[in-house]
A and B are shown apart, each in its own frame.
Chain A
Amino acid sequence: MKIRSDVMRIYQSMHIWTGIVTSLVLFIGFYAGSLTLFKPQLDSWLTPPGQVLPQIPTAQLDQLVGQVLDQHESAKAGFSLYLQDAATSHSPIQWFATDLGRELHLDARLWQGTLDENGQQQTLQVLPSVVAELVDYLHRTAGIPGTLGHEHIGIYVLGVAAVLYFLALVSGVIVLLPSLVKTWFALRRQKGERRFWLDAHNIAGITALPFHLVISLTVIVFAFHDQIYAGLAQILDDDTQISRQAPPRLTKTYELQQLLPVGRLLETAHDLAPEFKVTEMAYMGLQGPKPMVRLALFNPDRLMRGPISDYAFIHPYSGQLLNSTLSPGEAGLWGRLVASFFALHFGSYGGDWVRWAYFVLGFGGAFLFYSGNLLWLESRRKKRTKEMGMAEVPTQSRSCRVLANLTVGVCLGSMAGVAVTMVTGKLLYARVDNINHVSMAVYYSVFLGAIAWGFLLGPARAAIHLLHMCALSTLAIPMLTLLAILLPDSGLWPSTAPGTLGVDLVALVCASCFGYFAKIARKRGLEGPRDSLWSLHSGPKAPCLTSSNRVGSRQ
């Protein structure tokens, strides 16, 4: 396919600049997003045994709720019930000791409750780990702190990045079109390093293009839905229609004793969606003007609106169905269409296979952004070498060095940060008062430390060190399980459930990958072109090179 040269030039520049500006935040968003697909498993990996109380039959839930509401003032605002056959492990009832918003809560204590054999309530207060939430926060905001209005600044930053990312996708495809058929899926190793990286970048981008388009568009909506609704309200001149369809406001307040039995609410849900299973019932605002139970409806074979499930909202006192993401019939068609946009972002359709596919696609996206930056640096090197002539070894420009330092520090730093946070979260759990404060401090120190390391030592050396750090800290995740089995008195706990064992196995695979990358980075540093930013022969501390412990490539 032929494309005019002036069009090509415009979209080439667009691709380069939108890519460079957004690559770092998108890298964190994608990498952390992959991990959030298995957020419940991450959470169980970090939760010590004994913090989850045994499940009870659904028929006994009313008895438990009654006893808890009698004795715990803090449960009266709201609580969550987890039904027996839910896939992840929870206590039958949970509620927070204090009221919470959507922030990261480092001090939030969570109550757990169940019934013993005699039908008497047993409760336990725990400090839930913040690490899985932190990963989710990194996914949504790239870890950028602060709020603007009721939204995180980081969410808007990622929203703007998603707009540029869409432009980068379109321009990337346009630039690739002329050579697409000729070099379809070619991965050329012989034609030099740049060719290899370019081919890999193109394959990663083109094969996952639908995924990337979906992610960029959904992120734009997640960040700017308020602004779009406001725009629509302006042009349609109809505030009532655009104001979000809120459940009917009821002014009457109820006594907690009037709560309908659990079985009655489950019947309503069953009538609505017989092929779905209720896994969780979240009671909210029980003493306010808008009481509501949110039932999570789960069916892995169906497309679901939320990250894990669909939802039905029922009035807990009257049993009226307030709202649902599963409206039946033709009227529900548009709702299902909207649900599919959400599901396509969350990967919550088609069960675990799709979840794993999204996991891989997320890492593929992170690779796309990382490789894009490397390609730009490499093309700059070629240009610079031509400009400076071959007489001496040319040095790279300041902008190249800065981008290389940031790419290495931000990307590898965020990955090492999460791994170190997980490891310290388990290792220090029994030894400190509030592990969550430690976890936050650890993540941000590793992340910022990695960036500083990049600027101190230059990208070539820092990349190798940080890759080793990623490898070791990720390897420590399964090692902790091994240690817990060997030393039962250590205060550590091994992974026993299939989900948490999966965390260990994936960590093991990732650790080997990081180790391998460190090895080839070292090889490139020693044997690659000397004018490259990745060469170990140049840069601020060249003579120190030989003091490193091991030369991987020339044994």
Chain B
Amino acid sequence: MNSKQKIQADWWSKSLIGGVLGFSLALALSSLLTAITPGGMDGQSKVQFNMWMVAPIWMFIFSFSYLFRSGLSAMSWLTGLNLLSYSLLLMVLR
């Protein structure tokens, strides 16, 4: 394996990106999940359900952000995924 393919640790940048962009991505994905499941956004207890689902989704993204090759690649991937899921959410909520 040459050094280009090797994963760089990039602790600070990956932690920051996984924490912040991972959280915003989790907010969008959880809201999407809430919107497309029976009852939709306004269903009984769906607000609580939405809030609860943020934590597992966030932590899943956070813990696997360290698999990106570098902090920069984590940044670009998560930014892209954020844009994608927020546009989807906008479409679904329309």
Task: Contacts A331-B44, A334-B39, A335-B44 given; indicate if A163 touches B59 (C-beta within 8 A).
Answer: yes
Residue on A nearest B43 in the bound complex, by CB = A334
Residue B94 lies at the interface, judged by CB distance under 8 Å to chain A: no
A-side contacts of B56, CB under 8 Å: 217
Whether B47 and A221, one on each chain, are in contact in the complex, defined by CB atoms closer than 8 angstroms, is no
- Across the interface, do A167 and B45 meet the contact criterion of CB distance under 8 Å? no
Question: Is there an interface contact between B51 and A166, defined as CB atoms closer than 8 Å?
Answer: no
List the B residue with the shortest CB-CB distance to A334: B45
Instruction: List which A307-354 residues lie within 8 A (CB) of chain B.
Output: 327, 330-335, 337-338, 341
Q: Mark A5-22, 1 if CB is under 8 A from B, else 0.
A: 011011101100000000
> Cβ of A331 and Cβ of B52 under 8 Å apart?
no
Contact A171 B49 (CB under 8 A): no
Count of chain A to chain B residue pairs whose CB atoms are closer than 8 Å in the complex? 93
Q: Across the interface, do B66 and A231 meet the contact criterion of CB distance under 8 Å?
A: no
Is the CB–CB distance between A171 and B63 below 8 Å?
yes
List B contacts of A11 (CB < 8 A).
66
B4-39 contacts to A, CB under 8 A, are 6-7, 9, 23-24, 27-28, 30-31, 38-39
Interface of B is mostly: helix
Instruction: Bits for B56-69, please: 1 = Cβ < 8 Å to A, else 0.
Output: 10010011101100
> Would A327 and B63 count as touching, CB distance under 8 A?
no
Measured between beta carbons, the chain B residues less than 8 angstroms from A245 are: 47
A331 and B43: CB pair below 8 A? yes
Q: Interface size bucket, B side?
A: 35 or more
C-alpha spacing A171/B11, complex, angstroms: 14
Those of A1-45 within 8 Å (CB) of chain B:
4, 6-7, 9-11, 13-14
Q: Identify which of B7, B30, B45 contacts A10 (C-beta below 8 A).
A: B7
Given contacts A7-B7, A170-B63, A334-B43, contact A232 B52 (CB under 8 A): no
Contact in complex: A242, B59 (CB < 8 Å):
no
Report chain B residues within 8 Å CB of A335.
Answer: 44-45, 48
Chain A's closest residue to B30 (CB) is A232
Q: Which residues of chain A come closer than 8 Å to B9, judged between CB atoms?
A: 9-10, 13
A181 contacts chain B at the CB level, 8 A cutoff: no
Tell whether, in the assembled complex, residue A241 and residue B28 are in contact, meaning their CB atoms are under 8 Å apart.
no
Q: Does residue A236 face the partner (Cβ distance < 8 Å to B)?
A: yes
CA distance A334 to B52 in the complex (A): 11
Contact B59–A337 (Cβ < 8 Å): no
CB distance from A170 to the nearest CB of B (A): 4
Residue of B nearest to A234 (CB): B27
Which residues of B are found within 8 Å of A338, using beta-carbon distances? Answer: 45, 48-49, 52
Q: Is A229 an interface residue (CB 8 A)?
A: yes
Interface status of A235 (Cβ within 8 A of chain B) = yes
Which A-chain residue is minimally distant from B41 (CB atoms)?
Answer: A241
CB of B81 within 8 Å of the partner chain: no
Contact of A221 with B7 in the complex, beta carbons under 8 Å: no
Bound state CA distance, A148 and B73, in angstroms?
36
Contact of A231 among B6, B7, B27, B49 (CB under 8 A): B27
**Are B31 and A235 closer than 8 Å at their CB atoms?**
yes
Closest to A245 in B: B47
Q: Report chain A residues within 8 Å CB of B51.
A: 221, 225, 228-229, 232
Chain A nearest Cβ from B74, distance in angstroms: 12
In Å, the complex CA distance between A245 and B86 comes to: 25
- Measured in the bound complex, the distance between the Cα atoms of B15 and A520 in whole Å is 41
Chain B residues near A7 (CB, 8 Å)? 7, 67
Sample (14) of A-B pairs whose CB atoms are under 8 Å apart: A13-B9, A217-B55, A217-B59, A224-B55, A232-B30, A235-B24, A235-B28, A235-B86, A241-B41, A245-B47, A331-B43, A334-B43, A337-B45, A338-B49
Given contacts A4-B7, A231-B27, 5 further A-B contacts (CB under 8 A): A170-B64, A220-B59, A232-B54, A334-B39, A334-B44
Please list the residues of chain B having a beta carbon within 8 angstroms of any beta carbon in chain A. Answer: 1, 6-7, 9, 23-24, 27-28, 30-31, 38-39, 41-52, 54-56, 59, 62-64, 66-67, 86, 89, 93
Which 6 A-B pairs give the minimum distances between C-beta atoms? A335-B45, A170-B63, A334-B45, A338-B48, A166-B59, A331-B44
